[in-house]
Amino acid sequence: MGIVPYIYDMVQTISLPIPKVTQSREAESLRVSEIFFSLQGETSRSGLPTVFVRLTGCPLRCAYCDTDYAFYGGKRHSISDILAEVASYRACYVTVTGGEPLAQKECLLLLTLLCDAGYSVSLETSGALDISGVDDRVSRILDIKTPGSGEAAKNHWSNLQSLTSHDEVKFVLCDEADYQWALEVMHEHQLNLICPVLFSPVFDKLDPAMLAAWVLRDRIMVRVQIQLHKLLWGEGAGR
């Protein structure tokens, strides 16, 4: 059976209950930039229909940031309302992203309740905040900020101690200097023995073919990824 019928079958047959949230937890809320349904554009889940919950706010200012519209604004939503909206898409996969989702402490509760509801949940995080409190069932996509990002000083290096095979590490690369830096970090911490390692070129800045050539030349076990959603739809919110 191919992947498409498999997913279709899952969507058709899995009934995802909205979890019962206790009265005290129901009052908790998060500032949300957007909730939308699209294809996952990155990671080993690339191509899978996914509900995205994009939380507002980020303490970083990466040079290449493509979601700066999520730095401010958004609206407060109760966790119950977020769960209900996610459920309305009748999908299996949910990604909580930002901004930096962990900048709002209530994000930890949202992640746990999404897991309780039966979703396969991933979290996209900048790597600048502690990930150790995230529910073990969540696949944490941990950025390691390179010098080219301008935010390498914010890397919370002790996060690497928390990584498991369920997680993924992502380097977003601006140029060859970033590539060499990422190689050194990966080897120093033996990251590709712990979990998948993603090398992602900055869109419209580093030629993906050049990155692919470096990876093949150096015979390193990383996944080169191109942001699928930008190839399909270009840049913009809601994708």
If the CB atoms of residues 100 and 178 are measured against ligand SF4, the closer one turns out to be 100
20 binds ligand SF4 (CB under 6 A): no
Is the CA virtual torsion 71, 75, 76, 78 positive or negative?
Answer: negative
Alpha helices in the chain (DSSP H): 3-13, 23-26, 79-88, 107-116, 176-189, 208-218, 228-233
If the CB atoms of residues 114 and 128 are measured against ligand SF4, the closer one turns out to be 128
126 binds ligand SF4 (CB under 6 A): yes
If the CB atoms of residues 87 and 103 are measured against ligand SF4, the closer one turns out to be 103
Least gap, CB of 13 to ligand SF4 (angstroms):
35
Least gap, CB of 97 to ligand SF4 (angstroms):
8
CA distances from 151 to 97, 145, 172 (A): 18, 6, 12
Residue from 20, 61, 166, 187 in contact with ligand SF4 (CB under 6 A): 61
65 binds ligand SF4 (CB under 6 A): yes
Q: Spell out, one character per residue from 82 to 101, where the chain touches ligand SF4: x when CB under 6 A holds, - when not.
A: ----------------xxx-
Taking alpha carbons only, the member of 186, 166, 174, 122 closest to residue 147 is 174
* Tally of helices (H runs) and strands (E runs) in the chain: 7, 9
Residue from 16, 30, 58, 160 in contact with ligand SF4 (CB under 6 A): 58
Contacts of 1 (CB under 8 A, 6+ apart): none
Least gap, CB of 20 to ligand SF4 (angstroms):
32
31, 123 contact by CB (below 8 A): no
49, 37 contact by CB (below 8 A): yes
144 binds ligand SF4 (CB under 6 A): no
For ligand SF4, the binding residues (CB under 6 A) are 58, 60-62, 65, 67, 98-100, 126
